[in-house]
């Protein structure tokens, strides 16, 4: 497989550390608010990566953190802890906030058919590991104590800016730090490994440490969880492009100083989802989530399809027009597939030809748009019989995860469901709400959930 590596700034042949096995770390969500569809685009990218590697026969083990402490509003130790902001906003405890938004995150995550990571760890559960790492970094002279906090000294590492463009990021540090400069730091780019109460006296979540009661910085979480659960050498580590600096830059500095050797071979970064005002972000007013899309009557999988039609390393503009179009195209595609008759015997030649084309596309730095083109080419090919087509589509859908093949039951019942929806609509118009409700419940018992939108009623199979 060919994969773009941010570290080398080129597309490389992917070679795992251990043959046939791949270890991946995905930076998880900060659970102080709902995850917007931009965050979700990043997890869709990781999902395609995992599914593609599995398609190619690798055994994948993936870990992810839940950031429930330590992520300040500025990425470089500036501002307030995002969890504290949420506590003030919602008058809840940090743990209540984290629990609520973690659950909401996974509701949306599952709606997009995203594979769950094998190892999922809240940052607050791994304090011992951060203390162990920070202790060693202090002993080895990579870290220092100042103003009650512990900082990493970036001047002690040879190539602090290896992941990114040095000159450019000097400017980024300057711009971000100009708001609030931390006078405890020796170098402007130094970052906190451990805060004591000197930062926020009223921080709810604090732990004892050799340097006083306090809490970890954001960056140490991912290094700690990754090293503890995936070992000293990692194949792939990733997040959104905004994680390259300072988060991943800092992760490399502290992890490699702690371990004494190279840590991660491939750095995988997803470009942003934009809205009309620029990068979608949680701090920008109303948050557009997958659940909101669903309430508006969209199928979350249409959003997944929209993302798959563009390359993960290209920015993608979200508009409802684009989503509408994606949904219509996906429906047409599914209807076309539903009309294929399961005829003939499996034709190995055609199967291998199209499977080969599909693999060429996805293993070319995850070119999902080209993989979708292979699917269209297959649908058009009159030389391939129905049975072979359906087998191939089923297989491709292991990566796409778009539910391309409708359940038989679903197709057969479609007419019946639509007529019941019509009957319910009439009942509502006649103010016979009892009948309307009984139709809804009757369908629900059969595993069919009705969704009312401004444009009318649609339905979804919930336990087929």
From the CB of 24, what's the least distance to ligand AMP, in Å?
A: 13
Length of the chain: 464
From the CB of 81, what's the least distance to ligand AMP, in Å?
A: 13
User: Applying CB under 6 A, which of residues 3, 24, 34, 39 lies at the interface with ligand AMP?
Assistant: 39
From the CB of 189, what's the least distance to ligand AMP, in Å?
A: 20
- Report d(CA 237, CA 163) in Å as an integer: 12
177-186 contact pairs (CB < 8 A, 24+): 177/76, 177/78, 179/74, 179/78, 180/74, 180/78, 180/79, 182/77, 182/78, 183/147, 184/146, 184/147, 184/149, 184/151, 185/146, 185/151, 186/144, 186/146, 186/151, 186/153, 186/155
From the CB of 271, what's the least distance to ligand AMP, in Å?
A: 7
Query: Taking CB under 6 A as the rule, does residue 164 contact ligand AMP?
Result: no
Partner interacting with residue 388 (select from Zn ion, ligand AMP, none; CB below 5-8 Å by kind): none
Nearer to ligand AMP, 64 or 427 (CB): 64
Residue 398 phi, psi dihedral angles, 5° rounding: -65, -30
Whose CA is closest to 246, among 190, 306, 181, 329?
A: 190
CA angle, corner 310, sides to 116 and 322, nearest 5?
100
User: Applying CB under 6 A, which of residues 69, 114, 154, 280 lies at the interface with ligand AMP?
Assistant: 280
Helix (H, G, I), strand (E, B) or coil at 105: helix
Q: Output DSSP code: residue 20.
A: T
From the CB of 157, what's the least distance to Zn ion, in Å?
A: 18
What is the size of the binding site for ligand AMP (CB under 6 A)? 19
Nearer to ligand AMP, 4 or 144 (CB): 4
**C-beta of residue 343 within 8 angstroms of C-beta of residue 337:** no
From the CB of 150, what's the least distance to Zn ion, in Å?
A: 19
Per CB under 6 A, contacts with ligand AMP among 232-251 are 239-240, 242-243
* 4 Cβ contact partners less than 8 Å away, ≥ 6 residues apart: 10, 11, 12, 268, 313, 365
Query: Taking CB under 6 A as the rule, does residue 41 contact ligand AMP?
Result: yes
User: Applying CB under 5 A, which of residues 27, 63, 129, 205 lies at the interface with Zn ion?
Assistant: 27
Per CB under 6 A, contacts with ligand AMP among 65-84 are 67
- Report d(CA 266, CA 187) in Å as an integer: 28
Query: Taking CB under 6 A as the rule, does residue 272 contact ligand AMP?
Result: yes
Token representation of residue 214: 């306090």
Q: What is the greatest pairwise CA distance in the chain? A: 78
- Report d(CA 193, CA 255) in Å as an integer: 12
Nearer to ligand AMP, 38 or 300 (CB): 38
From the CB of 193, what's the least distance to Zn ion, in Å?
A: 14
Per CB under 5 A, contacts with Zn ion among 207-236 are 222
User: Applying CB under 6 A, which of residues 7, 14, 22, 29 lies at the interface with ligand AMP?
Assistant: 29
- Report d(CA 295, CA 274) in Å as an integer: 21
Whose CA is closest to 157, among 189, 131, 203?
A: 189
* 87 Cβ contact partners less than 8 Å away, ≥ 6 residues apart: 93, 94, 97, 204
Nearer to ligand AMP, 122 or 374 (CB): 122
Query: Taking CB under 6 A as the rule, does residue 30 contact ligand AMP?
Result: yes
From the CB of 248, what's the least distance to Zn ion, in Å?
A: 7
Partner interacting with residue 402 (select from ligand AMP, Zn ion, none; CB below 5-8 Å by kind): none
From the CB of 44, what's the least distance to ligand AMP, in Å?
A: 9
From the CB of 73, what's the least distance to ligand AMP, in Å?
A: 11
Return the range that interacts with ligand AMP (CB under 6 A); candidates 24-32, 145-153, 177-185, 448-456: 24-32
Query: Taking CB under 6 A as the rule, does residue 38 contact ligand AMP?
Result: yes
Partner interacting with residue 42 (select from Zn ion, ligand AMP, none; CB below 5-8 Å by kind): ligand AMP
From the CB of 317, what's the least distance to ligand AMP, in Å?
A: 11
User: Which residue minimizes CB distance to ligand AMP?
Assistant: 240
Partner interacting with residue 222 (select from Zn ion, ligand AMP, none; CB below 5-8 Å by kind): Zn ion
Query: Taking CB under 6 A as the rule, does residue 273 contact ligand AMP?
Result: yes
* 448 Cβ contact partners less than 8 Å away, ≥ 6 residues apart: 413, 417, 459, 460, 461, 462
E strand segments, 21-176: 21-26, 59-66, 119-122, 143-146, 149-152
Distances (CA, A) of 106 to 82, 85, 329, 382, 419: 19, 22, 27, 42, 34
In the complex, the residues that contact ligand AMP under the rule CB under 6 A are 27, 29-30, 38-39, 41-42, 67, 239-240, 242-243, 270, 272-273, 279-282
Per CB under 5 A, residues contacting Zn ion are 27, 222
């Amino acid at each position: 497989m060919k994969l773009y590596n941010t570290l080398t700034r080129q597309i490389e042949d992917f070679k795992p550390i251990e043959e046939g096995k791949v270890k991946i770390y995905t930076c998880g969500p900060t659970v102080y608010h709902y995850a917007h569809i931009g965050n979700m685009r990043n997890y869709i990218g990781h999902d395609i990566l995992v599914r593609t590697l599995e398609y190619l026969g690798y055994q994948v083990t993936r870990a992810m953190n839940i950031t429930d402490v330590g992520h300040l509003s500025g990425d470089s130790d500036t501002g307030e802890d995002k969890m504290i902001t949420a506590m003030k906003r919602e008058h809840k405890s940090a743990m209540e906030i984290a629990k609520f938004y973690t659950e909401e995150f996974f509701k949306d995550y599952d709606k997009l058919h995203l594979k769950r990571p094998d190892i999922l760890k809240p940052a607050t559960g791994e304090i011992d590991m951060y203390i162990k790492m920070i202790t060693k970094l202090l002993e080895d002279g990579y870290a220092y104590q100042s103003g009650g906090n512990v900082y990493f000294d970036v001047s002690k590492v040879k190539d602090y800016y290896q992941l990114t463009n040095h000159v450019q990021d000097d400017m980024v540090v300057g711009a971000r730090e100009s708001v609030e400069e931390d006078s405890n730091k020796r170098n402007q780019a130094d970052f906190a490994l451990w805060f004591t109460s000197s930062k926020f006296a009223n921080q709810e979540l604090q732990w004892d440490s050799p340097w006083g009661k306090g809490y970890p910085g954001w960056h140490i979480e991912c290094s700690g969880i990754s090293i503890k659960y995936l070992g000293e050498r990692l194949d792939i580590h990733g997040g959104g492009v905004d994680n390259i600096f300072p988060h991943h830059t800092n992760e490399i500095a502290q992890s490699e100083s702690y371990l004494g050797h190279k840590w991660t071979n491939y750095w995988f970064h997803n470009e942003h989802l934009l809205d009309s005002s620029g990068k979608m972000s949680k701090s920008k007013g109303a948050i557009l989530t997958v659940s909101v899309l669903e309430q508006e009557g969209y199928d979350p999988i249409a959003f997944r399809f929209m993302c798959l039609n563009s390359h993960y390393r290209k920015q993608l503009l979200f508009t409802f027009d684009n989503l509408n179009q994606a949904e219509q195209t996906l429906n047409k595609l599914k209807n076309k597939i539903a009309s294929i008759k399961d005829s003939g015997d499996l034709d190995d030649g055609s199967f291998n030809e199209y499977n080969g084309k599909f693999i060429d596309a996805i293993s070319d730095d995850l070119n999902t748009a080209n993989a979708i083109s292979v699917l269209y080419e297959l649908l058009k090919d009159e030389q391939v019989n129905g049975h072979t087509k359906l087998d191939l589509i089923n297989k491709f859908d292991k990566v796409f995860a778009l539910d391309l093949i409708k359940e038989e039951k679903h197709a057969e019942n479609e007419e019946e469901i639509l007529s019941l929806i019509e009957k319910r609509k009439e009942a509502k118009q006649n103010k016979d709400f009892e009948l309307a409700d009984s139709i809804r419940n009757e369908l629900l018992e059969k595993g069919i959930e009705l969704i009312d939108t401004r444009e009318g009623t649609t339905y979804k199979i919930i336990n087929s």
